[in-house]
């Protein structure tokens, strides 16, 4: 179901052009996360990856820098985010982009791995989250790893970690900017840890393992069963 909230989830205009600066300011350890991502996928049997909600392509660049053997399909409904990604990745081969959603993907590839980074908290309803996770699982080979990063935790955890995030932000951001942004984050559709595990299992994945956390952001790894 398309809703205003879903449309808001699609990054356009200034949001696309300023995205890379935004993540540096607002997501502590974003760069560190991107450096460990390829290591976690190093033993993937077939080096083909589906990067869902690839945005400006940072996860794709991280993988290609670690190993040019990766063939990657980036999917995102925002043409503007994909445009930035295409420019950023112009010197790398074996990358294709699809503007749209995973369920609409035209090729019939079964991928060796997939990522969903900083996307799920823009999806409002649990059945839509389940639909997205199921669409990703259907595109994976048996045993393929799946890495998911976003805003996870219950209300209490989010409240505590928003204060942690506040203290980790760069000093040059104004109090007003910080208050407004933290307020917007509270309106996003976080998933509790229990819910995430249930959604992944219902979508056909193994129960996930958390391997990273920086304030409100955490990352989990799971696999499609063999």
Ligand X SMILES: C[S@@+](CC[C@H](N)C(=O)[O-])C[C@H]1O[C@@H](n2cnc3c(N)ncnc32)[C@H](O)[C@@H]1O
Residues of this chain that interact with ligand X (CB under 6 A) are 9-11, 23, 52-55, 58-59, 75-78, 81, 101, 117-119, 122, 132
Token pair recorded at residue 175: 């109090």
What lies within 8 Å, CB to CB, of 133 at 6+ separation is 116, 199, 200, 203, 205
Burial 199-221 (b: 16+ CB within 10 A, else e): bbeebebbebeeebbbbbbbbbb
CB of 28 to ligand X, least distance (A): 14
CB of 55 to ligand X, least distance (A): 3
Distance CA(215)–CA(222), nearest Å, equals: 21
For ligand X, which residue has the nearest CB?
Answer: 55
Q: CB-wise, 6 or 143, nearer to ligand X? A: 6
CB of 43 to ligand X, least distance (A): 22
Q: CB-wise, 106 or 175, nearer to ligand X? A: 106
Q: CB-wise, 77 or 145, nearer to ligand X? A: 77
**CA proximity to 116, closest of 208, 14, 225:** 208
140: helix, coil or strand?
Answer: strand
Distance CA(189)–CA(120), nearest Å, equals: 8
Distance CA(181)–CA(71), nearest Å, equals: 36
Token pair recorded at residue 25: 């300011």
CB of 117 to ligand X, least distance (A): 4
Q: CB-wise, 9 or 41, nearer to ligand X? A: 9
CB of 185 to ligand X, least distance (A): 12
Strands 71-76 and 145-151: unpaired
Q: CB-wise, 78 or 191, nearer to ligand X? A: 78
CB of 135 to ligand X, least distance (A): 9
Q: CB-wise, 144 or 219, nearer to ligand X? A: 219
């Amino acid at each position: 179901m398309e809703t205003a909230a879903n449309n808001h989830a699609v990054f356009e205009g200034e949001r696309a052009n300023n995205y890379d600066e935004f993540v540096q300011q607002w997501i502590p350890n974003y760069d560190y996360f991107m450096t460990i991502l390829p290591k976690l996928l190093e033993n993937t049997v077939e080096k083909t990856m589906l990067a869902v909600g690839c945005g400006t392509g940072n996860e794709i660049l991280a993988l290609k820098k670690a190993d040019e053997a990766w063939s990657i399909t980036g999917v995102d409904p925002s043409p503007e985010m994909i445009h930035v990604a295409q420019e950023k990745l112009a010197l790398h081969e074996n990358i294709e982009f699809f503007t749209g959603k995973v369920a609409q993907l035209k090729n019939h590839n079964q991928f060796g791995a997939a990522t969903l980074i900083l996307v799920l908290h823009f999806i409002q309803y649990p059945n839509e989250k389940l639909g997205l996770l199921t669409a990703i699982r259907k595109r994976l080979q048996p045993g393929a790893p799946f890495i998911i990063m976003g805003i996870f935790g219950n209300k209490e955890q989010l409240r505590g970690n928003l204060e942690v995030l506040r203290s980790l932000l760069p000093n040059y951001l104004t109090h007003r900017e910080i208050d407004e942004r933290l307020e917007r984050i509270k309106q996003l559709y976080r998933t509790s840890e229990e819910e995430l595990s249930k959604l992944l299992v219902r979508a056909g994945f193994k129960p996930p393992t958390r391997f990273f956390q920086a304030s409100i952001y955490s990352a989990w790894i799971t696999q499609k069963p063999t």
